[in-house]
Amino acid sequence: DVKVTQSSRYLVKRTGEKVFLECVQDMDHENMFWYRQDPGLGLRLIYFSYDVKMKEKGDIPEGYSVSREKKERFSLILESASTNQTSMYLCASSPRKTLLYNEQFFGPGTRLTVL
Amino acid sequence: GNSVTQMEGPVTLSEEAFLTINCTYTATGYPSLFWYVQYPGEGLQLLLKATKADDKGSNKGFEATYRKETTSFHLEKGSVQVSDSAVYFCALSGNTGGFKTIFGAGTRLFVKA
């Protein structure tokens, strides 16, 4: 069964802390993505990666960085957490294949609260 | 650029009612279109997809037809159940957007027994 796992379901951090969100997929997918989900705004892409050690900025990269040292793992880093980063964070992966059928597989999400 | 617009929710229906959630898109060329569903406390999962004009995607009683002439991909179900209560996202991918997927804002559906 296809699986994307995220390190935590719920996380509470303080302003200024460095926060790591981990995502692991077991499908040997090339592409991995980080989104944040906020009410009324849908999903917004933060960063994505086409391959190991490669990363591309999404639509809202400010305040975030990422790391992809291994194919199966994609980490999202909040260098100095702020209250406006309180959100649901979703990780997804997809196979490279072709541009069509580009279905994404999602993890369960991490609900991050920054106090 | 590419974009997806879907009807605002929440949508509240009684069990066995007919469901339509409207979705329109803006894109050049021929993107693939998707509906994803998010049940409470979970991530998104693919509900159905269509990759070319006039294709009909279907799954679990849900259907959507890729209409290029109206740039629409409306989601329908003939008889909803309480277990269909979830948030539904229309999305497009491929085309000039590369591997990125563009999501609509989501429509929350409540089904009452």
Mean pLDDT split into 10-residue runs, chain B, 113 residues = 89 97 90 94 93 94 96 97 97 72 93 96
Confirm or reject contact between B5 and chain A (CB < 8 A): no
- φ, ψ of residue B83 to 5 degrees: the values are -70, -10
Report the gap between the CA of A6 and the closest CA in chain B (Å): 10
Tens-place pLDDT, residues A49-72? 988 988 999 999 999 999 999 999
Please give the pLDDT value at position A64: 97
Nearest to B107 by CA among B74, B65, B58: B74
- Judged against a pLDDT cut of 70, whether residue A98 lies above it is answered with no
Q: Cα A52–A84–A17 angle (5° rounding)?
A: 65
pLDDT at A99 over 80: no
Amino acid at the residue B7: M
A97/B contact by beta carbon, under 8 A: no
pLDDT at B97: 54
Residue B102 CA to residue A104 CA, distance in Å, equals 11
Residue B41 is predicted with a pLDDT of 86
Asked whether the beta carbons of residue B43 and residue A58 sit closer than 8 angstroms, the reply is no
Q: Do A99 and B93 touch (CB under 8 A)?
A: yes
A92 and B44 in contact by Cβ < 8 A? yes
Shortest distance between the Cα of B42 and any Cα of chain A, in A, equals: 5
Question: Which residues lie below 8 Å from residue B108, measured CB to CB, with a gap of 6+?
Answer: B9, B10, B11, B86, B87, B88
| Amino acid B5: pLDDT | 95
What's the mean pLDDT in A11-27? Answer: 96
**Tell me, what's the pLDDT at A79?**
94
Is residue A100's pLDDT more than 70? no
Q: Which residue of B has its CA nearest to A44?
A: B103
18-37 of A, contacting B, C-beta below 8 A:
31, 33
Q: How many CB atoms lie within 10 A of CB B109?
A: 20
Q: What is the pLDDT of residue A97?
A: 62
**Closest by Cβ to B99, choosing from A31, A40, A42:** A31
- Residues in chain B closer than 8 A to A103 (CB atoms): 34, 46, 49
Q: What is the mean pLDDT of residues A18-30?
A: 95
Q: Do A102 and B32 touch (CB under 8 A)?
A: yes
* Angstrom distances, CA of residue B91 to CA of A66, B15, B110: 24, 26, 21
- Rounded Cα distance between B2 and B66, Å, is 16
CA distance to A8, A23, A79, B23, per residue, from B57 (Å)? 34, 30, 42, 14
Asked if residue B79 lies in contact with residue B59, where contact means CB atoms within 8 angstroms, the answer is no
pLDDT at B74: 98
Q: Does B29 touch chain A (CB under 8 A)?
A: no
Token readout for A80 is 């100095």
Q: Around Cβ B38, how many Cβ atoms within 10 Å?
A: 22
Where do we find the tokens 């990125």? B100
- Residues of chain A above pLDDT 90, percent: 75
